[in-house]
Chains A and B, each alone.
Chain A
Amino acid sequence: MNITSFLLMRHEIILLVLILAMLVLEVATKPSQKKRLINIAIGLFLIHTIIGFFPAETGELFGGSFRTTGLIHFFKNVLNIGVLIILLQSADWLRDKVAEYNKIPEFFILLFSSLLGMNYMISSGDFLMFYIGLELSTLPLVALVAYNSFSEKSTEAAIKLILSAALASAVSLFGISMLYATGGSIFFEEIAANLQTSNLAILGMVFFFSGVAFKISLAPFHFWTADVYEGAPIGITSYLSVISKGAAVFVLMSILFTVLPALTDVWKNVVYIVAILTMFVGNLFALRQQNMKRFLAYSSIAQAGFMLMGIIHGGNLGVATVVFFLLVYVFSNLGAFGVVQAISSETGKENMDDYTGLYRTNPKLALALLLALFSLAGIPPLAGFFGKFFLYMAAASVKEYLLVFLAVVNVTISLYYYLLPVRNMFLRKSDDAIPYFKSKSMMRTGLVLAVLGILVLGLYSPLYNYIVELSASVL
């Protein structure tokens, strides 16, 4: 092992440098100049994102605690793009609303720390690294949810998030201790080699699964989701729903596939029931929401149920479909949240009824929201359709026809509520519609990137083939 092997942790090292740079800049700039840090931070993160695309080597570090493969590298890039879009969309909010409280650098430091935790979590090769990565990604996120410390809603959301997250990690630690007892090690490879089906191992798996299910907000562990999403600042809400959830799904999938293959029969049953429950709970509760953030929260719960369909496949195809769906989900959800944020930071309105007649006053925003919602609902030729289609394909190829049928029923239910805002925007007139406003350039760039992602992923198929190729070497 020589010093260059640390380059395997390229993403993490650069992120760490970014965090330290922000800390130094925070001290070095005068309070009146702090607004400049927004552009500097976004520029630095853009460089980090671009460097991430250079080809990476695969391998292990620290005796197997940290490992990286082509797929993990690709997924880190997806997370980087997602965070970049979120930063672009939040820049105006930071400049207009937060600057007066003099808290701008903290936003970036906490957000980058959380992303650093997620990078370590998805690269983890043992349960210790997994646990530390999980906590490093959660704790800064809680601080960010409580960011608006004068708002009662924000504080309430943060207290709900920290209590549920702490409970979840405690439960999943208890499960990990049982897996340690039966597997004889905390390293993934050694557990996979030693683990046999026993009652203790199954109990450990269930505890571990429920802990991670909290993070992905699968039913019946989803109760915190809507409240936290509503109370948090919108940029953080989209981070929670896209980056945090995506990373947790990826980790859950890789641990179920590579660490617990001995328990495949058991966890398939668990995932099956949870998938059906999550889809129905998410969709049925979304029907009665009026607040756009709560509405998107329940929609994201339902989408998590769909992701589990790919996990049920249990093979390389399942990995590829889930990763592709996550990629699609990142762009679709960020498109929707971007429009909600643009309108909310301009007018403060977040209810579905406020969107009435939006097409007449702000046609471009309405069109962006339309594309994002159609992609979430899965209407061809947008990306969301292919994401869902490949998930059906994965589930059908292992003969889970009932699950596919129930998923299609759920898509039908979801079409109803995804079309509600669309009807308000396009078909209805309103005298007090949101007046025309011009978004700032950063917000426009963020929205254009998200919409481009939705269109390109739907029309450009080689990307899916590329993901299939990457995931062929995973298992």
Chain B
Amino acid sequence: MIENVSIYELLTLTTLLFFIGLYGFLTRKNLITMLMAIELLLNTSVINFVVINKYLYPDVLQGVYFSIFIIAVAAAETALAISIIINLYRLKTSVDISETETMKY
């Protein structure tokens, strides 16, 4: 619990961050930046879980340990995505989203 900060302010912050991340994911043309946007999305959920746990249900630490698992899984996800992007770079020498358009419709 932070002094003088209510849960509304914190949840507004995470919601804003969530939609900034979503906007970034939909508009960016570079695969690495899209990955960064996804990290932002996942981190909003992490903050959400911790904040809700601390402010609403401080007796049980369910939200906190959920957030630890999210961080671990997000790291694995990023590692896998980066390795695939590196493979794409080897094949096409570019990490631009326009390089991934051989299959469509």
Contact B66 A135 (CB under 8 A): no
Whole-angstrom CA separation of A216 from B102 in the bound complex: 24
Contacts of A314 in B (CB 8 A): none
Within 8 A of A (CB), among B41-92: 41-42, 44-45, 48-49, 52, 56-57, 60, 62-63, 65-66, 69-70, 73, 76-77, 80-81, 84-85, 87-88, 91-92
Complex Cα gap A386–B70 (Å): 42
Q: Which residue of A lies closest to B52 (CB)?
A: A181
Contacts of A170 in B (CB 8 A): 21, 38, 41-42, 45
Nearest B-chain residue to A181, judged by Cβ: B52
User: Does A160 touch B at the CB level, under 8 Å?
Assistant: yes
A139 contacts B76, CB within 8 Å?
Answer: yes
The number of chain B residues with a CB under 8 A from chain A is: 39
CB < 8 Å: which of A132, A139, A155, A181 contacts B69?
A132
Contact A230 B49 (CB under 8 A): no
| Interchain CB contact under 8 A, B81 and A153 | no
- The interface residues of chain B lying within 8 Å CB-to-CB of A158 are 84
Cross-interface CB contact of A156 among B25, B45, B62, B88, cutoff 8 Å: B88
User: Chain B residues with Cβ under 8 A from A169's Cβ?
Assistant: 42, 77
Nearest CB in chain B to that of A171: its residue: B41
Cβ–Cβ < 8 Å partners of B105 in chain A: 226
Please name all residues of chain A whose beta carbon is closer than 8 Å to the beta carbon of B92 when the two chains form the complex: 152
Chain A positions 116-163 with a Cβ under 8 Å from a chain B Cβ: 127-128, 131-132, 135, 139, 142-143, 146, 149-150, 152-153, 155-160, 162-163
A139 and B80 contact, CB distance less than 8 A: yes
Assuming A128-B69, A139-B80, A180-B63, is B42 touching A163 (CB within 8 A)?
no
A184, CB-defined interface residue at 8 Å? yes
Q: Tell whether, in the assembled complex, residue B88 and residue A159 are in contact, meaning their CB atoms are under 8 Å apart.
A: yes
Render A169-180 as a binary contact track against B, CB cut-off 8 A, 1 for contact. Answer: 111011011101
User: Which listed residue (B57, B66, B80, B104) contacts A128, Cβ 8 A?
Assistant: B66
Q: How far is the CA of A372 from the CA of B44 in the complex (A)?
A: 45
Most B CB atoms within 10 A — which of A127, A169, A226?
Answer: A169
A167-203 at interface with B (beta carbon < 8 Å): 167, 169-171, 173-174, 176-178, 180-181, 184-186
Between-chain CB contacts (< 8 Å), 17 pairs? A127-B66, A131-B70, A142-B80, A152-B102, A155-B88, A156-B103, A157-B103, A159-B85, A166-B81, A170-B21, A173-B45, A176-B45, A177-B63, A181-B48, A185-B60, A186-B63, A226-B105
Chain A residues with a Cβ under 8 A of chain B: 127-128, 131-132, 135, 139, 142-143, 146, 149-150, 152-153, 155-160, 162-163, 166-167, 169-171, 173-174, 176-178, 180-181, 184-186, 226-227, 230-231
